[in-house]
Amino acid sequence: QKEVEQNSGPLSVPEGAIASLNCTYSDRGSQSFFWYRQYSGKSPELIMSIYSNGDKEDGRFTAQLNKASQYVSLLIRDSQPSDSATYLCAVNMWNTGFQKLVFGTGTRLLVSP
């Protein structure tokens, strides 16, 4: 089992729709979870972090965390063509007292006008 799993996509949604991106992780002890957006040829950009079970909203983005199910998701409301990118789920795992981020392989999102 991979440490962090995501559907590679592409996930295609029309402009204005809600895009739902999902991620599962293997380490039950993980406490910190992140979503990064990466445009082609660019570096990963942090868009959301979540530490507690439930929902966290920031503008059009909502992160959802369910530690019991080892599941984290990202909802993008009113999707725009500029949201087209690869979304990387990252989970903080402890390594000898220090954190390391383990990334999923990313889900490619395509928002069509």
Partner 1 sequence: DTAVSQTPKYLVTQMGNDKSIKCEQNLGHDTMYWYKQDSKKFLKIMFSYNNKELIINETVPNRFSPKSPDKAHLNLHINSLELGDSAVYFCASSLPRGSGNYEQYFGPGTRLTVT
Query: How far apart (Å, rounded) are the C-alpha atoms in residues 36 and 88?
Result: 5
Contact status: 58 vs partner 1 (CB under 8 A): no
Q: Taking the complex as a whole, how short is the minimal distance between the CB of residue 92 and partner 1, in angstroms? A: 5
Contact stretch for partner 1 (CB under 8 A) within 10-18, 31-39, 52-60, 69-77: 31-39
Residue with Cβ nearer partner 1 (77 or 100): 100
Using only C-alpha atoms, the chain has a radius of gyration, in whole angstroms, of 14
Question: Which residues have CB under 8 Å from 36's CB, separation 6+?
Answer: 44, 45, 46, 47, 87, 88, 90, 103
- Interface residue list for partner 1 (CB under 8 A): 32, 34, 36, 38, 42-46, 49, 86, 88, 90, 92, 95-103, 105-106
